[in-house]
Amino acid sequence: MTATVRIPTQLRSLTGGAGEVAVAGETVAEVLKQLDAAHPGMGERLFDETGRLRRFVNVFVADEDIRFLDGIDTPVAPGQTVSIIPAVAGG
Amino acid sequence: MPFVDGLRCRECGRAYPAEALHVCEFCFGPLEVAYDYEAIAAAVTRESIAAGPPTIWRYAALLPAEAEGAVDLGAGWTPLVRADRLAAELGLGELWLKNDTMNPTGSFKDRVTSVALTKARELGFKVAACASTGNLANSVAAHAARAGMRSYVFIPSDLEQQKIITTAVYGGNLIAIDGTYDDVNRLCAELTSEHPSWAFVNVNVRTYYAEGSKTLAFEVAEQLGWRAPDHVVVPIASGSQLTKIHKGFKELELTGLLHGEAHTRVSGAQAAGCGPVATAFAEGHDFVRPVRPNTIAKSLAIGNPADGPYALDVVRSTGGAIGAVTDAEIVDGIRLLAQTEGIFAETAGGVTIATLGKLAASGVVRRDERVVAFITGNGLKTLDAVAGVVGPTATIKPTLEAFAAAVDTEGHLS
């Protein structure tokens, strides 16, 4: 069960510059946990001290905002893309 | 520009150089321009500003880019007009309208675009880009043409025809996306990572871009004799404009340019069909739950507003409120403004006027306050909003008889 995770510029120092990485996981929470395991340091950038996704981090599954889905528990199907995107943009 | 110390994360305070950065690498918080206010206060006077050009660049000391060589179509220094007839309709006392329909491409976006592309050019960018609900599309395409920059403008495909044409005419690339503005914005955020050599005015150079909205406050204060108004009503899309107007008044106080204090109460206006910040305000939340927009006020149709939490902070800390109005009320607001003050605003202006009316009726905006409402875009851009409800009084043959038969002139001829 492998998903593709799109990495924003701000986090590419942790992926050796890669804009996309493949990790396993069946939900957004699992995918992001595996991402942290594969690229240490990712977790503290994405989650605050209480373990919640930081308020300026948006996550999309197949281009849909997970806040319109099941949040961090949103299922990720094999081959789907999970995008991590800074919330501060637009307007 | 000489007064810029660098950038600083609004959330965690980390410092960054004044480059094309908009988000803190550690916590993803927004970066803000940090100024040396003491140096500004020592160097700038009301007189030196008044001697500057009749554009936003008269306030260059408080902007993050160099005035010399600015990408400039003449944005800013728009009229602030006293609106007694509208005030009487709304039961208000002293009401002023900041008529930003008078900008080069017909909206306040010329302010932010001019600052963003001036800084982008300083940083060496040759390509201008943006995600837009229409007004920014016009502005970026026009300013890029003026600057000789290539442009990539991204819009939702269901935008008003007028806004599509008034962008495409400037040349450049106009990409219509099948989706909402939030889809467009998400795509642009991703494209920014893939095309780091492009200046997306509201993504990677957003930190500078947003500062342009402070000039709305600077001008209003200067036009009122260097005094801050008691209450302002500002439309909310991303929330950036509202927070920067507040910041603008505070900066004038901080640099000694203001008579009195920056005591202004700040209220916000949204469409009920896309009112995530108004909902959060009403429900007492300090976060904003995204919505899917469904309103004729397309220029405000941002379901996932980046500065929503900060707009809530400003409104609450200043004792303002945030109202939301229906599409029918928006149309009524456009007509009321046009019929009482001769200003034809796009749908965002209808939102602002209709919300002002509600806030006046509920006593939030008071009769004893000096009030300024921001009219941020021109009605010629959203003709469809009123096309079905206004039109010729009569269509007749060119004869006196036909005119007499069709038009009741009783009491109107003298």
**Amino acid found at B336:** L
Contact call for residues A3 and A78 (beta carbons, < 8 A): yes
Range of the domain at A58: 2-86
The model's pLDDT over B144-165, given as tens digits with 9 standing for 90+, comes to 999 999 999 999 999 999 999 9
Min Cα–Cα distance to chain A from B44, Å: 30
Please give the model's pTM, rounded to 2 decimal places. Answer: 0.96
Q: Does B129 touch chain A (CB under 8 A)?
A: no
Quickly state the pLDDT bin for B412 (edges 50, 70, 90).
Answer: low
Q: How many CB atoms lie within 10 A of CB B164?
A: 18
A91 lies in a domain?
no
The model's pLDDT over A16-68, given as tens digits with 9 standing for 90+, comes to 999 999 999 999 999 999 999 999 999 999 999 999 999 999 999 999 999 99
Average pLDDT, whole number, for chain B? 97
Strands lying side by side in the sheet with A2-6: A20-24, A2-6, A81-86, A57-61, A64-65
Residue B413 has pLDDT above 60, yes or no: no
- pLDDT attached to residue A8: 96
Which whole number is the average pLDDT over B242-267?
98
CATH numeric code, B80-106+210-387: 3.40.50.1100
Backbone angles phi, psi at B306, to 5 degrees: -60, -40
**Across the interface, do A85 and B25 touch by the CB < 8 Å criterion?**
no
Residue B304 has pLDDT above 60, yes or no: yes
- pLDDT attached to residue A1: 73
Residue B72 has pLDDT above 50, yes or no: yes
Quickly state the pLDDT bin for B135 (edges 50, 70, 90).
Answer: very high
Q: Does B19 touch chain A (CB under 8 A)?
A: no
**Across the interface, do B203 and A89 touch by the CB < 8 Å criterion?**
yes
Q: Provide the domain count of chain A.
A: 1
**Taking the domains of chain B in order of start, what are their residue ranges?**
80-106+210-387
Within chain B, how many helices (H) and strands (E) appear? 16, 13
Largest CA distance in chain A: 37
Which whole number is the average pLDDT over B268-273?
98
The model's pLDDT over B85-118, given as tens digits with 9 standing for 90+, comes to 999 999 999 999 999 999 999 999 999 999 999 9
* Per-residue tokens: B242: 């509202």
Reference B269, options B167, B374, B362; nearest CA is B374
- pLDDT attached to residue B219: 99
The model's pLDDT over B193-238, given as tens digits with 9 standing for 90+, comes to 999 999 999 999 999 999 999 999 999 999 999 999 999 999 999 9
Q: Over pLDDT 90: what percentage of chain B?
A: 98
**Across the interface, do B290 and A67 touch by the CB < 8 Å criterion?**
yes
- pLDDT attached to residue B411: 63
Query: Per this entry, what is the length of chain A?
Result: 91
- pLDDT attached to residue B1: 55
Q: Which helix (H) or strand (E) holds B13?
A: none
- pLDDT attached to residue B2: 74
List of chain B residues whose C-beta atoms are within 8 Å of the C-beta of residue A63: 183, 186
Strands lying side by side in the sheet with B370-375: B80-82, B94-99, B370-375, B231-235, B265-271, B322-325
**Across the interface, do A90 and B192 touch by the CB < 8 Å criterion?**
no
The model's pLDDT over B329-339, given as tens digits with 9 standing for 90+, comes to 999 999 999 99
Backbone angles phi, psi at B297, to 5 degrees: -80, 70
Nearest Cβ partner of A90 from B11, B238, B290? Answer: B238
- pLDDT attached to residue B408: 84
**Amino acid found at A76:** V
**Across the interface, do A54 and B27 touch by the CB < 8 Å criterion?**
yes
**Amino acid found at B216:** L
- pLDDT attached to residue B414: 45
Angstrom distance (rounded) from CA B23 to CA A55: 13
**Amino acid found at B318:** T
Q: Does B26 touch chain A (CB under 8 A)?
A: yes
Q: Could you tell me the CATH number of the domain that includes residue A72? A: 3.10.20.30
**Across the interface, do B304 and A87 touch by the CB < 8 Å criterion?**
yes
**Across the interface, do A86 and B189 touch by the CB < 8 Å criterion?**
yes
List of chain B residues whose C-beta atoms are within 8 Å of the C-beta of residue A14: none
Look up the ipTM and state it.
Answer: 0.93
List of chain B residues whose C-beta atoms are within 8 Å of the C-beta of residue A91: 202, 237-241, 302, 305-307
Q: Over pLDDT 70: what percentage of chain B?
A: 99
